[in-house]
Amino acid sequence: MAKARRGGKRSRPPHRAPEAPTGGSGREHWRADGRPKTRFATRDEANRSSLQARLERGADLDPYRCGFCGGWHLGNRPG
């Protein structure tokens, strides 16, 4: 005999980016759609990916150190 479940079926809340640690917004870590940006372990890896994006798609991206995760991400050039 199967045991009865307590309570009803729980629904999952919509995906949201976790809050940033205190001292920063964490905005540099998240895409506009709420997914985390690609993390690179070193600046060199981020530079290579930036060059590849420029050659393949014409994207003008710069690597920067993320204050949220400590890794490197690519972002649009200002101006």
Q: Please answer whether residues 71 and 62 qualify as being in contact, where contact means their C-beta atoms are separated by less than 8 angstroms.
A: no
Q: Distance between CA 39 and CA 62 in Å, rounded? A: 13
Instruction: Give per-residue pLDDT as tens, 26-61.
Output: 677 888 888 888 999 999 999 999 999 999 999 999
On the question of pLDDT at 74 being above 80, the answer is: yes
Helix (H) or strand (E) holding 21: none
- Output the CA angle 36-42-48, nearest 5 degrees: 90
Output the six-digit token pair for 78: 């200002």
Q: What is the CA radius of gyration of the chain?
A: 19
Query: pTM of the predicted model, to two decimals?
Result: 0.61
